[in-house]
Amino acid sequence: MSLSDREWDDLKALLDKTVQKFLGFSETALVTAALNCIDKGYDKHKTVDKLLVILDEGQAKRFADKLFGVWEDYKASNRNARKKRKDDRDEGTETKRKRRFVDDGPPAIPGPGNPSPGQLTTDKIKEMMQNAQKIIEERKTQLMVTVPSASKPSMSQTQVLMSDAMEKAKRAAELQAMIQNKMSSLTASGVQIPNLKQLPLQNKPTPLILDEEGRTIDAMTGQAVQLQHHTPTLKANIRAKRREQFKGLIEKPPEEISESRFFDSRVEAKSAQRQRRSFKFHEIGKFEQMAGRLRAKAQLDRLQNEIAYAAKKTGIASAAKLATLAPKKELQEGEVPDMEWWDAYVLTGDHYAEEGNIEREKLYGITNLVEHPIQMKPPAEPEKAPEIPVYLTKKERKKLRRQNRQEAQKDEQEKIRLGLQPPPEPKVRMANLMRVLGNEAVQDPTKIEAHVRAQMEKRQKQHEETNAARKLTSEQRKEKKAKKIKEDVSLGVHVSVYRIRDLTNASKKFKIETNAKQLYMTGIVVLYRDCNAVVVEGGPKQQRKFKRLMLHRIKWEEDQHKGKKKDDDDSDSEEESDKTNKCHLVWEGTTTARAFGEMKFKVCPTELFAREHFKKCGVEQYWDLAYRGAIMDSAGDDDL
C-alpha cells in the first residue's frame, strides 16, 4: 500500500506530536522512518527492526505500538468521516428530488406596485428615521443631557451638580482627617515630619505667571522673579572647566633632584655618551707577509711533488713504504723468532735476554699503576619498539577493498531507505540513454541528449576535483619521499670506506655527490693522486643502495679505454688490465655517531695533508686503511 499526499501530511502532523510526547523533543528522522514503514505496509515486527537504527530495542517496541495505534485511529476517523459525507450527500439528493416536484407559484415580477427585494421604499425610509430618533432620545436620557433650549440650566440639572460637589467635599474632609490622625501618631512616636509647604512639587511643574511686560511674577507675592536657565554643554567643555580648576596643580613644577632626600651631591652623574667611530688602519707590510707565506707554501708543495715523483720513478718510495708495512724477515715454518711482536713494544732490545737478567729500567710502558678502561654508556634504546609492517598479498588486498566498498554501499542504502539521504539521480550515459529514460528520450531527443551530456561533464568535473583535492602538494611529496628514505641512526651509524684509483671524471663526481644527497647520507671525498677515498655514513638501507652505485652501476674503466687501440703485444695488454681504474670497498662497519656533515670534496696535494683532514674529525684510521691499500696496489704494479 502507499499513502496519498493528504494522508501523508495528516499522519506527519500526528506523528510529530506523538514523537514529541514519546521522546520529549521533536525528531524529523524518526517521523520520516515511521511514515516510510506505514507507506510500505510493514508489520509491527519489521517496523521494530527498521526503527532499531535510531532507537534502542525497548524504545523501538514501545514506539511501534504507539505508531500502529495512531494509524488505526486515523483509519477509523477517516471511515467515519467518509460515512458522514455519504449520508449528507444522500440527504441532499433526496431534498433536491422533493423540491423538484413542489409548486411554489408564479415568480414575483418587480414593478411600481411590487418592488424588488433589495429596493428601499418611502415607508421603509420613514421607519428608519423614526428608529434613529428614538435611539438618540434614549442616549440623551442616559447621559442626562437635554437639548439646549435656553442659556440657563434647568433646576434638575443644578440639583444633581450640587449633590456631586457636596459628596466630593465630604470625601476630602474625611481624607484630611485621616492624614491628620496619622501625622499626630507619627509625631507622638518621635518621627520628624518635614514641612510639606516648603517641599518643592516634584510631579507637577510650577505655574508660569507673566505680567504685561512679559516678566515672570511670583503667585504669592506678585513680585518679579529672576529664573535660572540651565544651558546644556558638551563633555569637552566640562573637561576644560575641570582643567582650569586644577591648572595650578598641573603647572606646578616637580621637585628638583637636588632637593630630594635621596640625592648624593658627591656622586657625579655622567650621562651616556656614544663612542666615536674611528678608522682602523692595517699595519704596514701585513698583506706582503701574507703573500710571502702563500708563495713559500706553493714552492714547498711543488718541491715535495717533484721529490715524490723522483722517488716513485726510482722505486725508493715504494720500498720504504713496504718496509714500514711488511715484516722485515719472512719466517719459515717451525722457526722461532728472536722476539715476538707483542713483546717488542715492552722490551727495548732486538732479542730476548735471560729471564734473570731482564732489568726493570729496560721495560717500556710498565708501571705500578693500573689502567682501567673508560666506562661508556650503552646506546640508548628507542622509545617504542619498531613496528613491523604487515604486507598482504594481492588477493587479500582485493578482498579487503571489496568488503570495505560493500559496507559503505550498504550504509548508504540504509540511509536512503530511512529517508536520511535523498536517492542519487540515475547515472545516464549515451549508451544506456534509451533503456533508462524510455519515452522521454523519444519525445524530445535533442533536449535529453543535452541533459545527459551535461550530467557526464558534471561527473567528470567532480571526479577531477576529487583527485585534485586528494593530490599531495610538492612539499608533501618531498616530505613523504624523505620519510621513506631517511633511517633512524640513534642506535648506530653504518659507515663504508671506498677507494678509487682515478676520480678526475666530473660526471662520476656528480653521480657520487647527487646520490649521497638524495639518500640523505653524510661523508667526505678526499682527492689524492692514485688514492681517492670516499667515506659515507647512513643507515643499512642507504648503504646498500650506495654500495650498488659504487661497485656495479658506475663503470669506472670506461673512460680509460676511450681513444685507445688494441695492441697485439700480450704484455702491454696485461699491464693495462692491471692499471685499470677500479673501486674497492676498503671497510664497512658501525659507529656510535656521525663524524662528517654534508658530502663535500677535498683536494689534498700531499698524504700528510689528507691524513690531517681526517684527523680533525677523529677518524684518521679511514685514511690509513685506504692509503695502505693504495700502497699495496702500487707495490704490486712495480713488481710486475
Of residues 419 and 167, which shows the higher confidence score? 419
Query: 431 and 516: one domain?
Result: no
CATH number at residue 36: 1.20.1390.10
φ/ψ of residue 638, rounded to 5: -65, -40
Query: 493 and 629: one domain?
Result: yes
Find the mean pLDDT for residues 507-534.
94
Contact 69, 58 (CB under 8 A): no
Q: What pLDDT was estimated at residue 355? A: 47
Query: 514 and 628: one domain?
Result: yes
Find the mean pLDDT for residues 514-523.
95
Instruction: Kindly state whether residue 76 falls inside one of the protein's structural domains.
Output: yes
Alpha-carbon torsion angle 621, 624, 629, 631, nearest 10: -170
Side-chain-facing half-sphere of 330: CA atoms under 13 Å: 1
Q: CB neighbours (10 Å) of residue 321?
A: 19
Instruction: Kindly state whether residue 460 falls inside one of the protein's structural domains.
Output: yes
Which cell is 636 given?
Answer: 704490486
Average pLDDT, the chain: 76
Contact 629, 584 (CB under 8 A): yes
Q: CB neighbours (10 Å) of residue 633?
A: 18
In angstroms, the CA 129 to CA 187 distance is 69
Q: What pLDDT was estimated at residue 461? A: 95
Instruction: Kindly state whether residue 436 falls inside one of the protein's structural domains.
Output: yes
Residues in the chain: 640
- pLDDT category at 422 given cuts 50, 70, 90 is very high
Query: 443 and 306: one domain?
Result: no
Last residue of a domain, one of 406, 441, 469: 469
Of residues 237 and 606, which shows the higher confidence score? 606
Find the mean pLDDT for residues 619-625.
93
Maximum distance among all alpha carbons in the chain?
Answer: 180
Could you identify the residue written with the cell 713488481? 639
Helix, coil or strand: residue 538? strand
Of residues 488 and 240, which shows the higher confidence score? 488
Q: What pLDDT was estimated at residue 97? A: 54
Whether the CA torsion 258, 264, 265, 269 is positive or negative: it is: negative
Q: What pLDDT was estimated at residue 365? A: 63
Query: 461 and 543: one domain?
Result: no
Q: What pLDDT was estimated at residue 93? A: 60
- How far CA 61 is from CA of 27, 51, 179, 267, 415, in Å, comes to 17, 9, 75, 97, 21
Of residues 27 and 627, which shows the higher confidence score? 627
Q: What pLDDT was estimated at residue 511? A: 95
Query: 528 and 594: one domain?
Result: yes
Instruction: With CA atoms as reference, report the closest residue to 599 among 503, 527, 524, 538.
Output: 524
- How far CA 481 is from CA of 484, 523, 579, in Å, comes to 5, 21, 41
Which cell is 575 given?
Answer: 699491464
Query: 46 and 14: one domain?
Result: yes
Q: What pLDDT was estimated at residue 540? A: 94
CATH number at residue 633: 3.30.70.100
Last residue of a domain, one of 469, 502, 532: 469
Query: 498 and 602: one domain?
Result: yes
In angstroms, the CA 337 to CA 355 distance is 17
Last residue of a domain, one of 322, 343, 364: 322
- pLDDT category at 263 given cuts 50, 70, 90 is low
Query: 504 and 446: one domain?
Result: no
Listed range (100-104, 396-400, 618-622) with the worst mean pLDDT: 100-104
- Amino acid letter, residue 572: D
In angstroms, the CA 281 to CA 553 distance is 57
- Please state the separation of Cα 419 from the chain's center in Å: 33
DSSP symbol at 356: G
- Please state the separation of Cα 162 from the chain's center in Å: 90
How many domains would you assign to the chain? 4
Find the mean pLDDT for residues 273-279.
79
Of residues 420 and 567, which shows the higher confidence score? 420
- Please state the separation of Cα 10 from the chain's center in Å: 47
Which cell is 423 given?
Answer: 536517492
Q: What pLDDT was estimated at residue 134? A: 81
- Amino acid letter, residue 540: P
Q: CB neighbours (10 Å) of residue 436?
A: 15
pLDDT tens track for 164-214: 767 777 877 888 788 777 777 766 665 555 554 444 444 555 666 777 776
pLDDT tens track for 435-458: 887 777 777 888 888 888 999 999
Is the pLDDT reported for residue 266 higher than 80?
no
Query: 464 and 494: one domain?
Result: no
Helix, coil or strand: residue 588? strand
Listed range (52-56, 154-158, 271-275, 536-540) with the worst mean pLDDT: 154-158
Instruction: Kindly state whether residue 142 falls inside one of the protein's structural domains.
Output: no
Side-chain-facing half-sphere of 97: CA atoms under 13 Å: 6
In angstroms, the CA 44 to CA 62 distance is 11
- pLDDT category at 358 given cuts 50, 70, 90 is low
Contact partners, residue 60, CB within 8 Å, separation at least 6: 48, 51, 52, 54
Alpha-carbon torsion angle 146, 149, 150, 156, nearest 10: -30
Contact 614, 528 (CB under 8 A): no
pLDDT tens track for 372-390: 778 888 777 777 777 888 8
Contact partners, residue 30, CB within 8 Å, separation at least 6: 19, 23, 51, 54, 55, 63
Bridge partners of 48, per DSSP, are none
In angstroms, the CA 464 to CA 373 distance is 67
Beta-sheet strands, E only, within 243-393: none
Query: 451 and 509: one domain?
Result: no
Query: 459 and 507: one domain?
Result: no
Could you identify the residue written with the cell 689534498? 604
Which cell is 493 given?
Answer: 651509524
Q: What pLDDT was estimated at residue 257? A: 44
Is the pLDDT reported for residue 116 higher than 80?
no
Q: CB neighbours (10 Å) of residue 220?
A: 6
Bridge partners of 138, per DSSP, are none
- Amino acid letter, residue 507: S
Instruction: Kindly state whether residue 235 falls inside one of the protein's structural domains.
Output: no
Alpha-carbon torsion angle 210, 215, 218, 221, nearest 10: -110
Contact partners, residue 495, CB within 8 Å, separation at least 6: 535, 536, 537, 587, 588, 589, 590, 591, 622
Q: What pLDDT was estimated at residue 325? A: 47
- pLDDT category at 261 given cuts 50, 70, 90 is low
Q: What pLDDT was estimated at residue 636? A: 65
Instruction: Kindly state whether residue 307 falls inside one of the protein's structural domains.
Output: yes
- How far CA 209 is from CA of 205, 206, 516, in Å, comes to 12, 9, 109
Contact 606, 298 (CB under 8 A): no
Instruction: Kindly state whether residue 71 falls inside one of the protein's structural domains.
Output: yes
Q: What is the end-to-end Cα distance of the chain in Å, rounded? A: 106
Instruction: Kindly state whether residue 432 falls inside one of the protein's structural domains.
Output: yes
The DSSP secondary structure of 504-527, one letter per residue, reads: --HHHHHHHHHHHHHTT-EEEEEE
- pLDDT category at 117 given cuts 50, 70, 90 is very low
Instruction: With CA atoms as reference, report the closest residue to 322 among 309, 311, 332, 335.
Output: 311
- Domain extent, residue 312, equals 293-322
Listed range (222-226, 280-284, 621-625) with the worst mean pLDDT: 222-226
Instruction: With CA atoms as reference, report the closest residue to 17 among 3, 4, 30, 6.
Output: 30
pLDDT tens track for 4-55: 777 777 878 888 888 877 877 777 887 888 888 888 778 877 888 878 777 7
In angstroms, the CA 457 to CA 95 distance is 67
